[in-house]
Structure 1
Amino acid sequence: MTKMADSSVDVIEGCRLPVLRKNQENEDEWPLAEILSVKEVPGRKLYYVHYIDFNKRLDEWVTPERLDMKKLQFPKKEAKTPTKNGLPGSRPSSPEREVVRAAGTGPQHPPSRPPQPQAQQKSLPTKTSIPDFQVLQQQVQRKSLDLNLQTATAPSRGKTLPTPKRKAESVSLATQVSPATPVPSLPGSAEASQVSVYPANGTARRPMPNQPGRKRKQPPNCGGTDEIIKVFQYNSPRCANVYLPPGEDSQDSSDGIPSAPRMTGSLVSDRSHDDIVTRMKNIDCIELGRHRLKPWYFSPYPQELTTLPILYLCEFCLKYLKSLKCLQRHLTKCNLRHPPGNEIYRKGTISFFEIDGRKNKTYSQNLCLLAKCFLDHKTLYYDTDPFLFYVMTEYDSKGFHIVGYFSKEKESTEDYNVACILTLPPYQRRGYGKLLIEFSYELSKVEGKTGTPEKPLSDLGLLSYRSYWSQTILEILMDLKPDNGERPQITINEISEITSVKKEDVISTLQYLNLINYYKGQYILTLSEDIVEGHERAMQKRHLPIDPKCLHFTPKDWSKRGKW
């Protein structure tokens, strides 16, 4: 039963209350939502709501009838007194609280110490007014020292620290992992102990946390990414449980600490646009060729176009126009029937075009504006000079129609081979996303590099990359064949070189698939029947692989080209 809104209560921006919406099963639900904006249309009000803990693409305008006014929460007032750190609700640092507590009165003092005079309570603590200031200062320094010691010894828990002589030789899998891909902390050593991979009838056991009071046998040191991985075939392996420290499910930091803002790339942090305007969709509908798209996020199109019911785009040059008549006149003048730039790949109806962001600035900017409608984290709109754009198209009798694209920096100091990647909504769930990812790694193979996408990935991008990494790595492990009667061997570095996938992504994928186990004093990779069958089913659906023979691409050394 629909809950009616109470007209006597004025709902303002910042209020929170349950809002009626349909879930995936087309059932009514009342999730908590925040009012971002209010507007009046003839006869009634409309409220733009953001559903708490839901993706912003689900934000929408709702009518008052969908609001549950009985549970209305008004926004809290901002703190009037500024704090020392400049953040509302923040507390002073621990040393300052200790000193102020020593100078206070009443319960702040131990019972044995008499209260201080009223005049001393208001004075700031100094070394002369507080007799035990030096003691407190030493305690603070001791706490800092303890924290430093814990931080220094935390990675080496469960194993002995390498001596300075062996430090250069000791390489741990955990130390080679980027903050974006947390993986198990595996001990490192120069000794080459074997890591086994074998198909098994049973599934691998889940990692078990250490129990209090229970001592575990210290495992021998395992090698780094150069360690040989042998393939054993056991019918019913008996794997010992191993505790693998769980990592934060974050693309930014493995220890939960926010990473520093990016100064380069398409995801460079720009807090100046983090306001209420950019949190709201400003375009209602986009007509692109034979498709009409509903944008998911804000995009900085000109203000005068945001009031239009439909924004029209030329599907070949991506120029935006305000009416269908303007689009028809434009099509009589536009000579493009494909994206500008060089066609570097064609197989069947699929083509890829390489576009220089400096030479084709207008097209690149229009492409970024379109992509921002479906990418929440994207901040690159106009400075396209340092980027290359690879646009995937589908060909028919009318021309080459854009399906998706990815961009990459001409010079990346962090081995990024993708800056932004997008498959347009009409072409999603058809395998084009993985095709874009596979093509980006094919370019890395030609360049002789390993690559990784820029972080953070969107939710859909993360799913696509995890799926591609899993299929690619499992395909290599399952295709290993014995050599001279011995079990096949491979290293993580070799997997990285074959696939051009960065080592950190290889290791994180093995952890994501739960393949890493501890068995008879060594780390092993266990392929269960479920994983094998799931991989075979996925490979049967993968009907659009990239053919390297159809790629005509010559990498350029942008470091020798001055300003690109």
Structure 2
Amino acid sequence: MVLPHQVLFYLKQSEHVAPERQYTEIIHSFDIQGCRLFFFFGSFLSWKRMAGSVGQSLTATTQRLKGKKNGGKGKNKSSKKARKEMLYGILNEKNIKQIQFGVSKRFPTWYGSAVYFDPETKRLGCSESKSQLCSNFNDQYWLDTLFVCEYCFKYTDNRARFVAHAAVCPFQYRAPGKIKYKSPEYTIRRVKGSKYQLFCQCLCLFTKLFLDNKSMYFKVDHYEFYIVYENGSAKPMGFFSKDLVSYQQNNLACVLTFPPYQRRGLGLLLIEFSYKLSQLEGVISGPEVPLSPFGLIGYLKYWSQILCWHLIEGDLAHCDKVSLEDLSIVTGMRVSDIILTLKHLNCIGENNQIYLQSLSTWLKSHRTKGNWFKLQDEYLLIDD
């Protein structure tokens, strides 16, 4: 016997539950354009000087990638694997000690990235750049401090160049992109990768230092970036990206709140905004998987509060029964994400019953002051 206060809903088994979503990481072959881009990035105030040496570096790197001998290691499988991983920024440990983000913010990196560096010398950009290498070349860190502009994400290893750029960066006066949301506190801008290519590429490179599974850096033309700013400021605080040609119709590729601005609820704001865009498009959607550990924590928190609110206080509060499709339509969540969240809340009993007491307990323990939702529809500026 099920007591009334123990269970509120009975989940009807769905015949249309999507199969388990799978994630396949596609590693593209290294091409001439990718090599050119790799050597283009580096000391951002040394573009012309670096461009003069790109030809030689490009030829040498292309030959090595074709498997030609290079000091007896050309055919070494482990060496080839290491080079392939470095091209996509995959490292097992951190290689940049800290970030100087703007004039006043300094913080350690979370993950390593080889994409910033020449793969042979471990120097920033091309081999001519004089990076701040540690005294011992074999030390963990390849670079002590990476200076990153907090407006445009261009970078250098030279403090003087960094200060010179900070004084003239055009994005400190006007942030890129078009405003899509503006509340009394925050503004969200849509920045198209096809229009602001260099800005988005530098943003992706910076993001890799804080997201372990980040693997897209340069091919940003079919991505949109939704960047959150504090009103009255042109300093980005966080963002999420969206793949415009996603076959799974994902509404988010990656999301990150930058370290100086964390614990403000900005991640939940961005996640909620991504679902609002999907709702306006009439699409049931969700994030690209697999999620990073921090991303999964953020999503479970958002999904939990949305499901709890709708089932206890929202549109479904007075229903006797509700199906997974009902929950999906009301919340905009995929069925697989709903099931994952209900299991996380430990509220599914026998015969697929959802126990109200478990949801109420979670709701009370996570209730915060103010509105349950961070996004307010009256501040949306969606016209295209």
* TM-score under structure 1 length normalisation: 0.49
The CA distance in 2 between the partners of 1:374 and 1:427, in whole Å, is: 13
Match of 2:42 in 1: none
User: Would you say 1:283 and 2:96 are equivalent positions?
Assistant: yes
Name which structure has the greater RCO, CA cutoff 8 Å, separation 6+. Answer: 2
One-letter amino acid of the structure 1 residue matched with residue 261 of structure 2: Y
- Partner SS for 2:235: strand
Unaligned runs of 5+ in 1: 1-195, 202-220, 228-251, 266-270, 556-564
CA positional deviation for 1:533 = 3.3
Measured in 2, the distance between the counterparts of 1:349 and 1:417 equals 24
> Pick from 194, 200, 204: which aligns with 2:6?
200
Give, in angstroms, the shift of residue 415 of structure 1: 2.2
1:371 and 2:207 correspond: yes
Q: 1:390 aligns with which of 226, 249, 274?
A: 226
Shift of the alpha carbon at 1:381?
A: 0.9
Secondary structure class of the residue paired with 1:540: coil
> By how many angstroms is 1:541 displaced?
4.8
Q: Distance in 2 between matches of 1:377 and 1:516?
A: 31
**Which residue of 296, 305, 308 corresponds with 1:474?**
308
Cα distance in 2 for partners of 1:393, 1:481 equals 32
Deviations 1:205-240 (A, max 9, x none): xxxxxxxxxxxxxxxx9531789xxxxxxxxxxxxx
Q: Please give the secondary structure, in 2, of the residue aligned with 1:470.
A: helix
**Displacement after TM superposition at 1:503 (Å):** 1.5
1:311 to 143, 146, 163: 146
1:480 and 1:488 in contact (8 A); partners too: no
The equivalent residue for 1:527 is 356
Which residue of structure 2 lines up, in the alignment, with residue 421 of structure 1?
A: 255
Show CA shifts across 1:353-388 (max 9, x none): 111111111000000011000011111111111111
What are the residue-to-residue correspondences of 1:70-219 with 2, within 5 Å?
A: 199-200=5-6
Aligned partners of 2:111 and 2:211 also within 8 Å:
yes
- Structure 1 residue matching 2:97: 3-state secondary structure: coil
Q: 1:287 to 1:482 in 2, by over 3 A?
A: closer
Map 1:251-266 → 2, pairs under 5 A: 261-263=24-26
Distance 1:372 1:404, change over 3 A: same
**Contact 1:225-1:491 at 8 Å conserved across structures:** no
State how far apart, in whole Å, the 2-side matches of 1:395 and 1:197 are: 50
Identity rate, percent: 31
Ranges in structure 2 where 5+ consecutive residues have no aligned partner: 29-80, 125-130, 134-142
Query: Structure 1 residues 359 and 222, CA, compared in 2 at 3 Å: closer, same or farther?
Result: closer
On the 8 A contact 1:339/1:391 being kept in 2, the answer is no
Cα offset, 1:435, TM superposition: 1.3
Does structure 1 residue 342 correspond to structure 2 residue 155? Answer: no
What is the distance in 1 between the residues matched to 2:24 and 2:273?
28
Q: State the shift of 1:341 in Å.
A: 0.9
**Cα distance change on mapping 1:542 and 1:296 into 2, 3 Å:** farther
Aligned partners of 2:230 and 2:237 also within 8 Å: yes
Deviation, structure 1 residue 316: 1.1
Q: 1:225 to 1:390 in 2, by over 3 A?
A: farther
Greater Rg by CA? 1
Figure out how many residues of one structure are paired with residues of the other and give that number.
Answer: 302
Higher-helix-fraction structure: 2
1:455 aligns with 2:289: yes
Q: 1:482 to 1:387 in 2, by over 3 A?
A: closer
Partner Cα distance (2:176, 2:26) in 1 = 29
Task: Tell me which amino acid in the other structure corresponds to 1:507.
Answer: I
| Paired residues for 1:29-40 under 5 Å | none
Q: In the alignment, what sits opposite 2:239?
A: 405
Cα displacement (A) at 1:536: 2.9
| Separation in structure 2 between the aligned mates of residue 380 and residue 226 of structure 1, nearest angstrom | 32
- Taking only aligned residues, the RMSD between alpha carbons, in angstroms, comes to 3.3
> How far apart, CA to CA, are the structure 1 residues paired with 2:352 and 2:154?
55
Cα 1:409–1:480, aligned 2, differ >3 Å: closer, same or farther? closer
Q: Distance in 2 between matches of 1:344 and 1:432?
A: 16
